[in-house]
Structure 1
């Protein structure tokens, strides 16, 4: 059951990132994690903050529909096997 626990933790973490609302949470937080309008030059690596915001935005865009199926499978497995 340890493998299922790790999978369940990853699904819960993905759910947490998928439900973050960019305007309400990220832009209005005390640390100001909104969309950064400054664009770096060509070949410059974005900072950690920009990479994390892009990760959250990507998870919200790409994983929203597949998470519905994964959550359904997890719920059924938990109902069947406890």
Structure 2
């Protein structure tokens, strides 16, 4: 097993760990709160897509940036993962 494949495996594992609390939120918390996300896809779905597409580090940074933009003075509408 090469170093590159080990790093990729660790990244995939960390990505799955980051997605677990997001899934928990989607299943157990979000259904009991009013819809508040100004964007499509929702911020939680965006975070999952970003982590899967870009890996745990860049994906998490993209998700944080998205959450910071999701406010009454920010934008709204369709905002896909780059």
TM-score by length of 1: 0.30
| Greater Rg by CA | 1
Structure with more of its chain in strand, by fraction: 2
Structure scoring higher RCO (CA < 8 A, sep ≥ 6) equals 1
TM-score by length of 2: 0.30
